[in-house]
Each structure stands twice: as structure tokens, then as C-alpha cells.
Structure 1
């Protein structure tokens, strides 16, 4: 209770009346309410009021007192009561203090890893909390108090720096606030942040000890060891072992602060390789590496396929493929003909194609070519290692640029058989050459003979259809051909047909004699030329005795491919008396070609054309007619 004595005005100052304000001082939680009582002993008080900026509500009153409710208090404030007594104003005041617990107490995140021997700065953020003069922040390691500081300002960051050692690994750090309202009888209020665990580490400045082979053979298995002392905590350290770009899968063991990793390396590629060890802890690494030479024998030594046929006199390029084999500066490729060394070259690059160009002659036909590699490791005491490819056999050939000599007839009569010859010199090897003979679309079946480098094919041709036909010869060797062709005219030339109108002719009867041949043949009957080729020649006569034994001759000519072909036939007439029958015998005469040709030409071109009816004398005897027919064979022409 706050009691204030106030002096009365001049002349009544000896009388004093107190004014009370309850509670005289209050400490409230934020948002709380309080009942305030203003009272006085003044015998005639007036205008008793509570002065405050806070919302208030009159609870009760009488001439000497009044009570008020103050609610939802959020800030510290000062309130005052006043009253008029005997013309004078009497006042009394009181302070209301609001307390709050901190809204946030948070220890800032610790570093992921803290090196040994380096100081660590702890930071605690305090937001809210009142009254500030009663608020303290305490920084803790586990339950050990590291720092105690008043909380000043809003918000406040409280800091403390502490040394860190190996023993701090795994320790929990936190921040606690203390709001001390014990003097007001409210007690000591604590707020604590979430704990944060510290991880400390130690990593030596030295590189790991890396034990690795200086040389490796492709396909072999060898161990690699990596050791590092003074690693804490060794259980958290990571070891990365690698061979070139190949990550190894090591077995890691830990003995105190010593870390050891062992891996087995297996190499499939030759060359210089890097074996590396990297130990990482807390984002800090220690690194070591060694170089190792990986050697291997060539995986593949192959001579590229030779051409199916190599022209004699042209250069041949040999190509040898070498895959694998190391070190390259010790590897050599040798190209061989049989066992003769043609070329020796270093093997560079991966893979490598070694080439050499050599002249080729007939003597190389059937030779074996190959490629050999030599890996010289004699300086290392390992010897000279040879790898040899499979041999490839060369086939050479020669074919002249000239066409074959083709001997074939310029004309062929339907139904006849004629030989065709095809000859080509300078063919090597003649035994491998193929000959194709054809008549038009008809493939012939030649007999082929070989005499050294001379090739000869002979076939018999037989044609059943007229027209112009192509006789062709194609000689092929090693996919290269030489070709020749001739054109031959196939013709049909039936011999001339000589006929009489009647077979029984009495003397004095009319006889019609007709001679005809093929559609393009020119015929002459007893010197009478047919009007045009293809038309018959005719004679008409009255049989007399003088016609008995008479010969009628019919000649036919046909021009084929510039050649003149001749045919001839003759009949003999026998005339009998009027009382006897007439028997006509037709005799086919075989006439020599030269005589017929000469006689026909002289007759055709030396005399005028004759036609009409011949009258012959009658004869008393009659003889049967008999026919005789002959053919001439056209000549042959060779072409190439």
C-alpha cells in the first residue's frame, strides 16, 4: 500500500489525509489483469479518479474509495490515483512491470567439422524475454557452464569463444536463458535451446604412404597399399584408391589413429598408369600418387586381306593391323614375303596400321605374306617376344589389253553345224581363266584347251531359225574380261523345185515347166530369168519327138551377207508315141558349184531374157523323168 500525506491549504496545513494506491507495485505476465484500489481518509473527498492510458473498468466506489480493473497488459506502465481534499489535489502512483519468457533461444549451427587446436565461437540468439534486467544467457558444453552474460537489446546474440580439443568430439553445446523473478516471489524461469553436437578432427599435413608396383603386366593382379597415421577420428575418414580412371574397391582397416587401405589392381590396358590414394576427412584431403608402367603383348596382329587377284606389274600395298602391345616404344612391326623381310617399322598409336608397298610380278603368284611384331623387353631381362599373323596367299594375273581372236562363219544355213574358235594369248594363269561362247541368247558348250599362256575355245554352232545372230566370246580372269563378237546371218535356202504340169504326156500334148525357190532367191529356167527374186520361172511347150531326152535345167541364187549361194536341179523329158503312155522321169543332177556359177552368170548377163512357149518336135520313144538335186556350201570368214 502506497500512503501519501498531502498538506492542506494555508491555515489548515496541520491536518494531513493519506491517499492509498494498491497494489503499490505489480509484476504481471504479459496479457494479464490487475485490480487497482484507490482510497483516502479525507472527510470530504471529491473527484477520486485513476489516471492511466490503459483501458480501465470501474469495479466499485464510495465517497472514500474506488476500484478499477486493468486488463490485457502488454507493456510496462505507470498508473496514478488523484483526489481533491479541502480544495487541494492529492496523488499517488505505482509501477506495473510486465514479464515475458523468451520467444526463441537458439544456438547457431556448429561447423560440420572443427579442427583440433582451433577456437570455436558459440553464438546464441535470444528473441523476446522481459524484463531484460532480470534475463541472463548461459552457454553450455554438455552441462558445463562456459559463459554467463546479461541479455541486452532486442534481439540479442550472445557469443563466447572456447578452445577445442580431441575430447570435444561428440560434445553437445547449448544455450540457456534465466529469467530471475525470485525477488517478486515468482521464481527462476529457464529456457534452453536444442543441443548441437560438435565433431572435431585431426589430419596430418604429410601425404599418405603409397606402396604400389612400378610395372604391371596386362591381365595380372597385384596389391596396392595406402597408409596414413594421425587420423582422428579414423572411423570417419574416407579412402579413395584409383588406377587411372578406374576406381578401386579397397579394404580399409583402422588401428587407433592409423588408417590402412588395401586394394587389388587388375589392368586391361597398356601404357603408363597413375595409381592414386586420397584420404578425406572433414572435407580436407591428403593425396599421394605413383606411376606404373603397364606392358602387354599385342592382342591382335593381322595382315589385311589381299586382293582376290593382283595384276602382275602393279604395286601391292600390304597393311598390318596391330592392336595392343606396350610399351609402344619397344614394339616393332615386320612385314614378310614368305620369310623375306620387306619392311620394319615402329608401332605408334593405338591401334596402329603399318603399311608397305611392294612390286608384284608373276613370280609372286602363290607367295605367302604375313606380319610379325617384336616386343623388345631384353633391357628388363624379359626377352624378345614375337607375335605373327596368319599368312595370306597372293594370286597374281595377266590379261592382255587386246580382244580375243574370234573365228566364226559370216553366214549359217538353218540346220547345218559349223565350228567357232576363240583364241587369246598372254593369259596368266590360263588355268584360272573362264571362256564364255554364245550364239545370240544360246550359251555354247566349248571345249577349252590351254597351252602355256594361250587359251583356245572351240564350239559347234547349230541354228534352227533365220535372222542375224551375234556370236560372242568373253574371256574372264580375276573379274576382268576381254570380249569379241561377230555377226552371222542365218539363212534358209531350199533347193530349186523343178516340176512338169503332167506326168503322162502323149506326143503333141502341152507341157508346162515351172522352176521356183525361196522367197528371196532368183531363179533361171533354161536361161529364162524369173521376173523378180522370189517369183518362179516358167516354160510351156508341145511335146514332139525331138523333146525326147531333153534336159530342163533350173538354177537358183541367193545373196547372204555379201556371199552368193547357188542351187541347181535338172529334169529329163521322155516323149512316147501317140498310142503309148508318156513316162516322165525326173533326175536330180548334182552340178559342181563352179560350173553352175560360171554358166549361170554367163547366161544371165550374156543373153537377153527369154520367155514364152517352146514348140518341140514329136518323138516316138518315151522315157521316165528322174530328178537330181545338189547344194553348195557358203564360205567362212574369220574375224576378231
Structure 2
């Protein structure tokens, strides 16, 4: 390093990317030549990143410590620039709260409750500082609870058979949503199969499904042994209250069906939920008769008993007269 006097260079601060910073001390009236930020060697070797010439005026006295302080500040500035300047493989950091890793969840995604009950839904997100969070639904809302990254919403008096619920969260200027479905249902109180009635060469099967909701999602099935003999979907019914359902089916009698068990099955298909109920089994008998036939048989028996009693009374009335003649 050329100067108008002896110049001593001593290492100053270590720098990133393999650079070395130097500070110099020069006599008064001399000329200072700074070579800094060389890679892999001293200032005389390698390619300097910055080279400047500083001419010191010799007119007035100037303290050497002032020059040392100036060179120290210059090295600090160069180090700061090196740290802030990204390298070829660096990328600027993602600001906190942006949509780079922003998701929203609403749980449970599907829930079923009896009509009139309440339910809680939890809306969570990965946004550290969401601008807003809200629930969109036609159901009546109750209390709201909040915590870090989540909001819990209460839905009251659920009576609609199916309702879509959306949770919207805004983060970093972007709004995302999650969906859930709330279903209200009531399984049957009972499924009752009446004893089969045989008349005119066929069996009449009658099944009662009581207090069920929603009827439009009910399927009633009759089984003989292990096979389905009849099934009916009640999707045409759209009423939104509890109902009783009676299914009547007439089945032709076949020799192989005698003494086979018959059962009635009620099934609610509620999207991802399946509710099943089954009746007690009944047996197809050879002497199953209809209520009309039973009434006729009872009348006939009563008439026959009356006739027998009348004949007996007549015989007893005549018997004493025959004895007196003898």
C-alpha cells in the first residue's frame, strides 16, 4: 500500500463471505490509501471490492485517533451492507401473517344431533394474527369462545334436517373458508312387525316405524329368511317433524316360505351417518288367519254352542215326562 510515510495495517473485523476489513494509522500530512474487503488474501493481493483514496490536508493539526474512528465506522458500514445484501441462493423472508402457509379447518366436518339439540363447531387456522373470523349459517347461534388460533361457535335448537355451515378467516388481506354440515335426526322409537295374516292364498305383512325424523331419508325393508322381499324409500315425504310410518305388503304364499322368519328393518341414510333399527321376527305359519276369519270362526263356535245347549235343554225337559209314563 503506497503512502507518504510508513503505514501499519492491522486486521479489524471479520466479515461474511470470506472478506477481511483493515484499519490504518498514518502520520499527519500523509496520504491514506484504503483497500478493504479482499477475498482470500490481503489488500495487495486479490480483487478489492472497494478502493478509495483519501487526501489528508496538511494545513491544520488533526488527531490520529479521528482517522482510526472514521475507518472503524467505514468498516462497520461495509459489514452491514454485506449482511443485508442477499446472496445468489438467498430469498427474502416471507412476512408474518401472509397466506404462504395459511389454512382454515372447521370441525367436526359432519355432525348429527336429535332435533332441538345444540352443537359446538370449532374453527381453527394457521394465521398468527387473523384480521377477522366469522361463521355463516342459517342456524341460530349462541355463545362464542376464543383461543390462540381457534374460535368455537355454539349452534342452538337445530331442527333443520341438514344445514351447511361456513367459517371465514381473513389473514394478510386474503380470505379463506372451511365448511361443515349439521344434520338433525331422530332414530325410531320402535320398529314393530305384526304377526302375518294369511287370507286368499297370500300373507299380509304390516310394519310400524314410530317417531322417526326425517322421514324423507327413511328406507323400510322386509326380509324373509336371508333375502329381501320388499324395500321402499320414503324420500317423497318432506315434512320436518316426527312421524309414524306404517308399511303394508301382500306376499303370495309359496311352499318353501312356510315357517320362515320375517323381519322389518328401518334405515336412515343421513349422508355419512347410517342409523338402523330392526323388529322382532315373526314366523309364516300354515294356520295364520285374518281378523275377519277369526271373528267368523268365533261367531260360528258361539252359534254351535248355543245349538248344543238348546238341544240339551230340550232333552232334559222331555226326559222327566218319559220317566213318569214308565
Q: How does 1:167-178 map to 2 (within 5 A)?
A: none
- 8 A contact 2:219–2:267 mirrored in 1: yes
What do the CA deviations read for 1:72-124 (whole angstroms, capped 9, x no partner)? xxxxxxxxxxxxxxxxxxxxxxxxxxxxxxxxxxxxxxxxxxxxxxxxxxxxx
Aligned residue in 1 for 2:189 = 402
Aligned residue in 1 for 2:247 = 458
Aligned residue in 2 for 1:354 = 150
Q: Take 1:604 and 1:456, find their aligned partners in 2: how far apart are those partners?
A: 47
Aligned residue in 2 for 1:488 = 282
Q: How far off is 1:487 after superposition?
A: 3.6
1:434 is paired with a residue whose SS is: strand
Q: Take 1:477 and 1:299, find their aligned partners in 2: how far apart are those partners?
A: 37
What do the CA deviations read for 1:384-434 (whole angstroms, capped 9, x no partner)? x242314x2523212056224x35234546941414243333513x32333
Q: Take 1:357 and 1:389, find their aligned partners in 2: how far apart are those partners?
A: 15
Q: Take 1:398 and 1:371, find their aligned partners in 2: how far apart are those partners?
A: 27
- 8 A contact 1:310–1:395 mirrored in 2: yes
Q: Take 2:93 and 2:10, find their aligned partners in 1: how far apart are those partners?
A: 38
2:11 is paired with a residue whose SS is: coil
C-alpha spacing 1:234/1:474, structure 2 compared with 1 (3 Å): same
Aligned residue in 2 for 1:254 = 49
Q: Take 2:237 and 2:282, find their aligned partners in 1: how far apart are those partners?
A: 27
Q: How far off is 1:467 after superposition?
A: 0.7
Give yes or no for the alignment of 1:371 onto 2:172. Answer: no
- 8 A contact 1:317–1:356 mirrored in 2: yes
- 8 A contact 1:334–1:344 mirrored in 2: no
Aligned residue in 2 for 1:437 = 222
- 8 A contact 1:474–1:484 mirrored in 2: yes
Q: Comparing both structures, which one devotes a greater share of its residues to helix?
A: 2
- 8 A contact 1:335–1:342 mirrored in 2: no
- 8 A contact 1:447–1:459 mirrored in 2: no
C-alpha spacing 1:394/1:368, structure 2 compared with 1 (3 Å): same
Aligned residue in 2 for 1:586 = none
Aligned residue in 2 for 1:263 = 86
C-alpha spacing 1:401/1:447, structure 2 compared with 1 (3 Å): closer
Q: Which runs of 5+ in 2 are unaligned?
A: 1-5, 24-34, 53-74, 312-326
Q: Which has the larger radius of gyration?
A: 1
What do the CA deviations read for 1:50-75 (whole angstroms, capped 9, x no partner)? xxxxxxxxxxxxxxxxxxxxxxxxxx
Q: TM-score of the superposition, structure 2-length normalised?
A: 0.55
C-alpha spacing 1:408/1:439, structure 2 compared with 1 (3 Å): farther
Could you say what the CA RMSD is over the residues aligned between the two structures, in angstroms?
4.9
C-alpha spacing 1:601/1:486, structure 2 compared with 1 (3 Å): farther
Q: How far off is 1:460 after superposition?
A: 1.2
1:263 is paired with a residue whose SS is: coil
1:597 is paired with a residue whose SS is: helix
C-alpha spacing 1:315/1:490, structure 2 compared with 1 (3 Å): same
1:266 is paired with a residue whose SS is: coil
Q: Which runs of 5+ in 1 are unaligned?
A: 1-164, 168-200, 211-225, 239-251, 272-294, 348-352, 376-384, 494-559, 567-591, 608-640
Q: Which of 328, 337, 356 is the matching residue for 2:136?
A: 337
Q: TM-score of the superposition, structure 1-length normalised?
A: 0.31
Q: Take 1:301 and 1:366, find their aligned partners in 2: how far apart are those partners?
A: 23
Q: How does 1:9-20 map to 2 (within 5 A)?
A: none
- 8 A contact 1:423–1:456 mirrored in 2: yes
C-alpha spacing 1:227/1:442, structure 2 compared with 1 (3 Å): same
Q: Take 2:309 and 2:233, find their aligned partners in 1: how far apart are those partners?
A: 47
Give yes or no for the alignment of 1:424 onto 2:210. Answer: yes
Q: How does 1:262-281 map to 2 (within 5 A)?
A: 262-264=85-87, 265-270=90-95
- 8 A contact 1:336–1:369 mirrored in 2: yes
Aligned residue in 1 for 2:317 = none
Q: Comparing both structures, which one devotes a greater share of its residues to strand?
A: 1
